[in-house]
Structure 1
Amino acid sequence: MKILFCFIRKLQCQHHFYTKRKKLLAPPFHGGDGIYRSPRPPLTLPPDPKISMIPFLFANLSQTGQTPALIDSETGQTITFSQLKTQISNLSKSLLNLNISKNDVVLILSPNSIIYPISFLAVVSIGAIATPANTHYTVTELSKQIQNSSPKLIITTHQLHHKVKHFDLPCILLTPKNPSFTENRTWYYSDLVNDSPIKLKSKRPLVTQSDVAALFYSSGTTGTSKGVVLTHKNFIASAMATTSDQEFYKEPRNVFLCFLPLFHIYAMSAIIYGQLQRGNTVVVMEKYDLDKMLSAVGKYRVSHLYVVPPVVKALVKEPEVVSKYDVSSLKEIGSAAAPLGKEMMVECAKIFPKAAILQLYGLTETCAVVSMENARVGSHHSGSTGVLAPGFESKIIDVDNSKPLPPFHKGELLVRGPMVMQGYFKNKKATEETIDEKGWLHTGDLGYFDDDGRLYIVDRLKELIKCKGFPVAPAELEELLVSHPGITDAAVIPFPDAEAGEVPVAFVVRLSSSSISEEEVQKFVAEQVAPFKRLRRVTFVDCIPKSAAGKILRRELKQKFIPKL
């Protein structure tokens, strides 16, 4: 009886806490400051500035040492938290002995594996800066990231080495030794993390929360790809915010499945670093495959599955595939990277009646999650992305006069908090256009809050196309198109796609003497970009509609052509 009373009292306290916080939301906003705040418990960062990502990650090692940290979904190979710490330490010593110093940049080009996170964490542990690269990138696209970030070392695999060998940089290979592979200035991961004592040639540098940890390349609010400068503090704050509900409700250690690419902030911050710092286990898949994903859920008793909308759509369209596997362990399916409609959430909930179907919203510029739904509070399948994560403040401003807007009024979303990036690497102009003098990050997304503080993302001011969760910058493709001698002008817009969410389609003005075909245009682009950036359709037009200032009027193109395509 006493246990039952305590349980009921705990629920009453939790209800009182959230009710109280929600009541506190309205008066300050209507009182004039126009700021929405998280109803979740406040975020308390480590007060010691010397507690960087790695010490914070292993703060509870005495409790988690023998717990599985990373599991290879295919082979079952397991790395415990104690082994994780040892391998990070050994690789970091080897990096220092290879003359990688604090603030040096190390580019990582590799498919998912359980040693990818170790490589990333070893780099940041010595104050060096990790810059993950999209494995689908062509040599041309990689060259832009390499030219901008100036890495001193590349971590890659045998299969991808051909993409980086021409850059004449030393490499560490994550794949097993291959006697026939002979390259100068190349080392193997297995040799650098062996169990034999590694003597440091130089003193280990001091790393603080304010030091830069990573450069994740994002198209930001406009234009081509830019390096997002994220600090150790950004990652620590994001990790605490992402796992705040688990902590508040004192959940047992959970098991997460990660098939999302680790070069994406969603995977590296919200799943890998965020969950490992709490002591959760992460099962790593090399890439997405519906059957393998569902099989791994049953085999490893996965409790949490973070996905993107196309995966939810695949689950809904193929319930007979889901029925072949044991998915009873799933407690939560979280979707992010692009909007997921209410109807899709409802249909997915029918297939997974024991799992909460939730939405999250975040940006590379905020080190992942900005808002997330709470399965225990409020209505489900509302179409919202939940309430703000702890540590965040937000405003919705009128796109014409920048004045703050009350609930249910649509405007541009601004956010502020300890997760917000330092800025764009070597791009002061873009940084100043995105982060104002008061620290507000202008997301370029259109949305609104309701009376309960739930955020709804309804459209994008920014012109990015989200194809299978990956950002595609129209400006990049347009620049590429007009570089063709037979094309004088071009515009790229998103086209709705059931599987990918959105795909890029182009409108092209041919040179009067040119007879280039749709297939030739598509091939020209495909040879120079990653698969998700390839044009799905090309329409030839006489001119591209533009404003007096020369800005492409994409809305006119959508209104005129999308219904016909």
Structure 2
Amino acid sequence: MVGNSVYCATRGVYSSPRGTVKIPADPSLSMVRFLLRNASSYPNRVALADTNSGRSFTFGELEAAINRVAAGISRLGVAKGDVVLIFSPNCIDFPLCFFAVISLGAIVTTVNPLYTVSELSKQTADSGARLVITVPQLFPKVRELRLPTVILGPSKLSVAEAAGASIVYLPDLLQSVGDSPAFVPPAAAQTDVAALFYSSGTTGANKGVELTHRNFIAASLMVTAEQDLRGDPPHVCLCFLPMFHIFGLSLVTYAQLQRGNSVVSMGSFDMEMMMQAVERFRVTLIPLVPPVVIALAKQGKVTSYDLSSLRQVICGAAPLGKDIMEEASKIYPDVEIFQGYGLTESCGIISLEVRVEGVRQYGSAGFLVPGVEAKVINVDTGVPLPPNGVGELCFRGDNIMRGYFNNLEATAWTLDKEGWLHTGDLGYFDDEGKLYVVDRIKELIKYKGFQVAPAELEGLLLSHPEILDAVVVPLPDEEAGEVPIAYVVRATQSSLTEADVQKFIAVQVAPFKRLRKVSFIDSVPKSASGKILRRVLIDRIRSRQ
């Protein structure tokens, strides 16, 4: 026993001080049935609301709404095991479609609306998606896929825009099935794959993370366990974090709804709109990312809106500095500001700060959530390390992914035979059992919680005829956490400029992947085996700061 945590020196394993969570034993329980298990106990409580459209559903209305959408999508030929791609910003129809597809035993893959046609096409091809759900403003990108498409929202495409495309509008689809469709969800198993979220993992190109019904159920219980332990009343949770991201969909939308909390959807982040929503819906809980907390800390206390309902702010997706947390807490002393840690491969959750007695110490990622075990292993030897020993963080639990879709090699590199997820993150547990994530072994760049794979950008750079070699590394940034920058070796006689290279990349990738800086060098540092020595350049950057 180490402080408040459980550390077994014999096994080298850390456990949660909160114990475990009880996962339902029924092997045929789907995540949608689990979501709705208690809905009849609070039928008039708002389940979903939308700041943009003003639409809402109570828990009493939610099951019927999901069934109607599922019945409509099934009429389009979607069956168990099929993959449906959702390409949309946040809206009230996003979770309805997500739950509806899963009700059919089908699988959802989500895509960042900022993705280019090329990026969208790659994920579509890899996942094998056979239907797309999107919004009118994104249809020009979707058209290139030549797949049947469901359009969300009240507005419609022009005749010219829709010409030759196989599209159906969700309102029309729902009208065709009626108010009470004869829909019986097919049998599902907790071990069935429910979603494919694409992640760069430790290195390399994006891979489909196979998340099962059990993964979602477990993660939802883990993230809300502290609310239950403290006896929190039902929360009203504001979700402007993108639902295509594991944080917004798993930990916010699904986890909060299954507990009976209300979820208010915002199409995108805007500080003023966020404040208005807190006042209007009496929001008690807001999940945030570091840039928003930084903005809150820098602007000082807001007095033009009534924020008295707000009780908790959970920060995730990227580390939040100790100084910023302290400053924000001084401005809003009645609001608990705490952070957690998770990965797409862990269905979004690994650790979370919990309320403890005494003086608050900021900076950690909290304690392991119930049901998660951890090891910290020496990077060179693989030997488990005791408290305060820095090594690679490895985790095991019912929330850990089944594997990478159609990629046995990447799965074997990441999940060992004992079920441990090797994260590529460096960290340690202190004597009290709090987790600290200090660095990364893996090459992934984290920009405002989004993943940027250096290998992807390097591949694009090398496709330029005047670039002989290139390496992409992270540059620390106060607002974004990290931004991608490139070191480029130009061909002899080349007149390429930094602006030329940045523009070449910008037209091919989503905005968050764009290069913030380009430097020209004579050669890329590499090992004898030809592996890029990114750490040499990263250390050079750090030495200049």
Tell me, yes or no, whether TM beats 0.5: yes
Where do residues 413-424 of structure 1 align in structure 2 (5 Å cutoff)? 413-424=393-404
2:523 is aligned, of 543, 550, 553, to 543
Residues 286 and 381 of structure 1: is their aligned pair in 2 closer, same or farther, counting only changes over 3 Å? farther
Q: Distance in 2 between matches of 1:562 and 1:383?
A: 21
Contact 1:373 1:385 in 2 (8 A): yes
2:445 is aligned, of 465, 468, 471, to 465
1:129 is aligned, of 107, 111, 114, to 107
Aligned residue pairs total: 541
Contact 1:117 1:272 in 2 (8 A): yes
Q: Distance in 2 between matches of 1:324 and 1:21?
A: 46
Q: Distance in 1 between matches of 2:536 and 2:402?
A: 36
Contact 2:216 2:347 in 1 (8 A): yes
Q: Distance in 2 between matches of 1:298 and 1:381?
A: 30
Where does the alignment leave 5 or more consecutive residues of structure 2 unmatched? none
Q: Deviations over 1:74-117 (max 9, x none)?
A: 34322111222111101111122211010100000001101100
Contact 2:117 2:142 in 1 (8 A): yes
Contact 1:487 1:510 in 2 (8 A): yes
Residues 378 and 60 of structure 1: is their aligned pair in 2 closer, same or farther, counting only changes over 3 Å? farther
- Asked if residue 370 in structure 1 is aligned to residue 350 in structure 2, the reply is yes
Q: Distance in 1 between matches of 2:528 and 2:303?
A: 56
Q: Distance in 1 between matches of 2:310 and 2:356?
A: 15
1:554 is aligned, of 530, 534, 540, to 534
- Asked if residue 491 in structure 1 is aligned to residue 467 in structure 2, the reply is no
Contact 2:34 2:258 in 1 (8 A): yes
Q: Distance in 2 between matches of 1:282 and 1:376?
A: 27
Contact 2:67 2:181 in 1 (8 A): no
The answer to which of 179-188 and 277-286 deviates more is 179-188
For residue 511 of structure 1, what is the aligned residue in structure 2? Answer: 491
Counterpart AA for 2:152: L
1:196 is aligned, of 178, 188, 192, to 178
Q: Distance in 2 between matches of 1:86 and 1:361?
A: 35
The Cα of 1:492 is off from its aligned counterpart by 0.7
Q: Distance in 1 between matches of 2:30 and 2:204?
A: 32
Contact 2:40 2:59 in 1 (8 A): no
Q: Distance in 2 between matches of 1:255 and 1:241?
A: 18
Where do residues 11-410 of structure 1 align in structure 2 (5 Å cutoff)? 25-26=6-7, 29-30=8-9, 32-178=10-156, 180-181=158-159, 182-183=162-163, 184-194=165-175, 196-197=178-179, 204-319=185-300, 322-376=302-356, 379-410=359-390
Q: Give TM-score, length-normalised by structure 2.
A: 0.96
Contact 1:42 1:391 in 2 (8 A): yes
The answer to which of 505-514 and 75-84 deviates more is 75-84
Contact 2:475 2:541 in 1 (8 A): no
The Cα of 1:204 is off from its aligned counterpart by 4.2
The Cα of 1:180 is off from its aligned counterpart by 2.8
The Cα of 1:561 is off from its aligned counterpart by 4.4
Q: Distance in 1 between matches of 2:342 and 2:148?
A: 34
Residues 252 and 21 of structure 1: is their aligned pair in 2 closer, same or farther, counting only changes over 3 Å? farther
Counterpart AA for 1:422: R
Q: Distance in 2 between matches of 1:448 and 1:560?
A: 25
Q: Distance in 2 between matches of 1:434 and 1:169?
A: 33
- State the secondary structure of the residue aligned to 1:33: coil
Residues 479 and 378 of structure 1: is their aligned pair in 2 closer, same or farther, counting only changes over 3 Å? farther
The Cα of 1:205 is off from its aligned counterpart by 2.1
Identity %: 50
Q: Distance in 1 between matches of 2:89 and 2:203?
A: 27
- State the secondary structure of the residue aligned to 2:431: coil
Q: Distance in 2 between matches of 1:197 and 1:382?
A: 51
The Cα of 1:327 is off from its aligned counterpart by 1.7
Where does the alignment leave 5 or more consecutive residues of structure 1 unmatched? 1-19
Q: Distance in 2 between matches of 1:368 and 1:65?
A: 28
The answer to which of 547-556 and 50-59 deviates more is 547-556
The Cα of 1:560 is off from its aligned counterpart by 2.9
Counterpart AA for 1:81: F
Q: Distance in 2 between matches of 1:558 and 1:22?
A: 36
Q: Give TM-score, length-normalised by structure 1.
A: 0.93
The answer to which of 369-378 and 482-491 deviates more is 369-378
Counterpart AA for 1:224: A
Q: Deviations over 1:443-486 (max 9, x none)?
A: 11111011221111111111111111111111110111011001
The Cα of 1:504 is off from its aligned counterpart by 0.5
Counterpart AA for 1:196: G
The Cα of 1:198 is off from its aligned counterpart by 5.9
- State the secondary structure of the residue aligned to 1:243: helix
Residues 263 and 179 of structure 1: is their aligned pair in 2 closer, same or farther, counting only changes over 3 Å? closer
Q: Deviations over 1:228-254 (max 9, x none)?
A: 000000000000111001111221100
- State the secondary structure of the residue aligned to 1:55: helix
Q: Deviations over 1:207-239 (max 9, x none)?
A: 111111000001111111110000000000000
Contact 2:40 2:60 in 1 (8 A): no
The Cα of 1:378 is off from its aligned counterpart by 6.3
- State the secondary structure of the residue aligned to 1:369: coil
RMSD: 1.7
